[in-house]
Amino acid sequence: MPPADAEPYRTSLGTSSPDAIRLLGHDLTEELMGSVSFADLAFWLVALRRPTAGESRLFNAVLVALTDHGFTPIVLAARLTLLGAPEAVQGAMAAGLLGGGSRFLGTTEDTAAFLADGLAREAGRADLDALAADLVRERKAAHRTVPGLGHPLHKDGDPRTSVIHRIAEEEGVAGPHLALLAAVGRVHPAILGRTLPVNGAGVCGAALADLGIPPGLVRGVALVARSAGILGHLAEEMRDPIGRRVYDSVDRNAEYVAPDPG
């Protein structure tokens, strides 16, 4: 028995008894299984409320948008880890997820935080273009990139961006973060002297912020999405492997450079 004065360890998520499992206040088997989608449940677990139909559509669209982007370093790390430890798929999954940092997937979080900070600082400011211009000028003066702008491949526009905006508008769930990011897209060319696309990761971060996901959890949502992509790549690696060829190519082309003496 715990001490009488021990504080309870509270959770509002899941609990189990010998004959039942409860999740979010509902009977898992009788009320949730077969009745709620995995994406809706993921939203519910974070927000502690079930999404509306419009929120569900936008949240699902964001997850789909972030699922896979080809042979990224995240995917290569997962595939090469599977090559080294084929008996431990969890290690390959983890290796891929650990690569979701500031250059890959982290843009979702960075953009959400950038927009949330700007909106909080200028609460009630009606002219979003003027606010966006101030934020872009500040980033330029600090020699920092503007989160949500630019893409190494989609130079003329990220195809995901317009779709996220369209779905948010159709469902009536477009909010101030998406609006401010669109303003950033409009005003930045005159300030930066070049035109950069609003990227898919950034618009997904804005959409998640509009759905009420705290910026500090936005990258976690991106990782949930990318987990499915990584799993797909691992399945493909088992069917049609490239890991050994990648390793062999690097090994054959490795050049040893002796360090400077001393």
Q: Is the pLDDT at 154 greater than 80, yes or no?
A: no
One-letter identity of residue 58:
L
3-state secondary structure of 181: helix
What was the pLDDT predicted at 158?
Answer: 87
User: Could you tell me the residue range of the domain that residue 154 belongs to?
Assistant: 106-213
Range with lowest mean pLDDT among 20-34, 126-140, 142-156: 142-156
Question: Where does the pLDDT of residue 261 fall: very low under 50, low under 70, confident under 90, or very high at 90 and above?
Answer: confident
Helices and strands (DSSP H and E) totals, the chain: 11, 3
What was the pLDDT predicted at 106?
Answer: 80
The average confidence (pLDDT) of the chain is 93
pLDDT tens per residue, range 71-130: 999 999 999 999 999 999 999 999 999 998 877 778 899 999 999 999 998 776 779 999
Task: Report how far residue 108's alpha carbon sits from residue 147's, in angstroms, rounded to the nearest whole number.
Answer: 8
Burial of residue 228 (CB within 10 Å: 0-12, 13-18, 19+) is middle
Whether residue 28 lies inside any domain: the answer is: no
Whether residue 86 lies inside any domain: the answer is: no
Number of domains the chain is built from: 1
Among 57, 72, 130, residue whose Cα is nearest residue 105: 72
Whether residue 169 lies inside any domain: the answer is: yes
Q: Check residue 199 and give left, alpha or beta (phi > 0: left; psi -120 to 50: alpha).
A: beta
Whether residue 25 lies inside any domain: the answer is: no
Whether residue 219 lies inside any domain: the answer is: no
Whether residue 95 lies inside any domain: the answer is: no
Task: Report how far residue 167's alpha carbon sits from residue 57's, in angstroms, rounded to the nearest whole number.
Answer: 8
- Residues of the chain with pLDDT > 70, as a percent, come to 97
Whether residue 233 lies inside any domain: the answer is: no
Among 232, 230, 235, residue whose Cα is nearest residue 76: 230
What was the pLDDT predicted at 4?
Answer: 66
Task: Report how far residue 81's alpha carbon sits from residue 182's, in angstroms, rounded to the nearest whole number.
Answer: 39
Please state the pTM of the whole predicted model: 0.92
- CATH number, domain containing residue 125: 1.10.230.10
